Amino acid sequence: MRRPAPPPDVDAPAGYRELIRHNVHFRRLWTGNLVSLLGDWFNTIALYTLVSQLTMEEGSGGSPIALAAVFIFKMLPWAVASPLAGLIADRFNRRRLMIATDLLRAVVVLGFLGIDTPDELPWLYVLITLQVVIGAFFQPAKSASLPNITTPRELLTANALSSATWSVMLAVGAAAGGLATEWLGPQAVFLLDSATYLVSAWFIYRTEIPQHTDAPPRGPVVRTALREIWDGWAYLRSEPRVGRIALAKATWAVAGGGMVFMLALLGDRVTPSALAAGIGLLFMARGIGTGIGPVVARRLFQDAGRWPLVLGACVAFSGICYAAVGAVPWFPWREGALSLLLLIGLIVAAHASSGANWVLSAVLLQQRTPDRFRGRVFATEWLLVMLCNTLSTLVAGLLLEASVLTLRQAFWAFGLVQVACGGLWLLLVVPRERREVLAPEQG
């Protein structure tokens, strides 16, 4: 006679299958995001390849600074738009906001079809800016919505699954996008990306997202927006437990943005005759790592009290791995398959650490921030991340364009900077977190 299954532990995080099977609204939001992310990574690899091809000179690869500009225009406009995006996510219907941003992006990406000469690169950067600014309103609305459509025991699982999905779509989209760009050309990829936004909008349209926020503001729009944004920043300053965690991702991005940009340049070294495939391969490794990290972190670190320590350790370890990328041999894959596997392994390990940092810090922010401030907190976090990514990428691009550093030396330098950032987090943030935990117990 079979024994009945034991009742589930009500304090343990929900399982992935349980979450997807029983939470229909999370499932729809997740499915729509999954489809649009696949298109985004197809789009990203196509853009990197297109710019490299348009700026390629005889006997050399594409311009580092022109490629860096793609990264910068994918980050800096996001940073500028984030404060207003957070306010909108806190004051207006988040479901409608996400649908509107998907529909607008479906139109904007069609503009890339007209870019086919070097003289048109400025228009490409304009279109990237429009796509990114619109997307900046989607992300804080999505992040702020997760606690509203999940139970407390589902929240960590929902964040881990969302991060793993981003990672899997990066891996699949980068690899498949590289092949699709090589075989079909960038234009076909841009058409596919536009279609994925429409699919995402349909799934979100069928999702119910309750919301507990203040009414939309009245009065002069600009003055009210500035006041509300200031209130959000004031909240971060008045709540150090929230403000510190909002810096976790930016701590990684101080050097991480430049190192991710350099992966696109490294792609030409591993597959010289197929640029898009090489970029796709290395970004696939990045995606695999960011997918593994949250899953491992969810299993190993269930005690949230240890998470601040884990965040700093992850930043430092990621820097060690990237410094090692600069130390291993770089051979075209036909000449050195083992060295390529070692290179991929280091990239996977580096981004497994960054993925763990990403998810654990997101959950801490969601747990520590009330709903009425959550959109602005996540928008401010994105502002800091994108600013750090932008500066890091700009510095890397300028150093490489001016030949101040070789690509190998740049990996060493930026890896060591990231190790130092992780060390500073461990020295400055972790002791404060421990003191705040001990203070109530001693009181």
Q: What is the DSSP string of 336-371?
A: -HHHHHHHHHHHHHHHHHHHHHHHHHHHHHHHHS-H
CA dist 198 → 128, 205, 370 (Å): 18, 11, 32
- The predicted-structure confidence for 281-339, as pLDDT tens digits, reads as follows 888 888 888 888 887 887 888 787 888 999 999 999 999 999 999 988 876 655 667 77
Residue-level pLDDT at 11: 59
CA dist 93 → 97, 131, 214, 219, 270 (Å): 6, 21, 11, 19, 46
pTM: 0.72
- The predicted-structure confidence for 209-219, as pLDDT tens digits, reads as follows 887 665 555 55
Give the DSSP H/E element, type plus range, for residue 167: helix 152-184
- The predicted-structure confidence for 340-391, as pLDDT tens digits, reads as follows 888 889 999 999 999 899 889 988 888 888 877 777 777 778 778 888 998 9
Q: Average pLDDT, stretch 397-419?
A: 93
Confidence band, pLDDT 50/70/90 cuts, at residue 92? confident
Look over the chain and give the mean of its residue pLDDT values, rounded to a whole number: 82
Domain range annotation of the chain: 16-208+222-437
Q: Evaluate if residue 442 carries a pLDDT over 90.
A: no
Class of domain 16-208+222-437: mainly alpha
Q: Average pLDDT, stretch 220-243?
A: 72
Residue-level pLDDT at 315: 95
Amino acid at 75: M
> Looking at the chain, how many residues does it have?
443
Measured CA to CA, the distance from residue 195 to residue 190 in angstroms comes to 9
Measured CA to CA, the distance from residue 237 to residue 175 in angstroms comes to 42
Residue-level pLDDT at 212: 67
Q: Evaluate if residue 425 carries a pLDDT over 50.
A: yes
Neighbours of 320 (CB within 10 A): 17
Measured CA to CA, the distance from residue 27 to residue 236 in angstroms comes to 31
Confidence band, pLDDT 50/70/90 cuts, at residue 272? low
Q: Average pLDDT, stretch 227-245?
A: 79
- The predicted-structure confidence for 45-66, as pLDDT tens digits, reads as follows 888 888 877 887 544 556 788 8
Q: Which residues contact residue 321 at a Cβ distance below 8 angstroms, ignoring those fewer than 6 apart?
A: 346, 347, 349, 350, 353, 415
Residue-level pLDDT at 19: 86
Measured CA to CA, the distance from residue 262 to residue 243 in angstroms comes to 30
Q: Which residues contact residue 402 at a Cβ distance below 8 angstroms, ignoring those fewer than 6 apart?
A: none
Burial of 188 (0-12, 13-18, 19+ CB in 10 A): middle
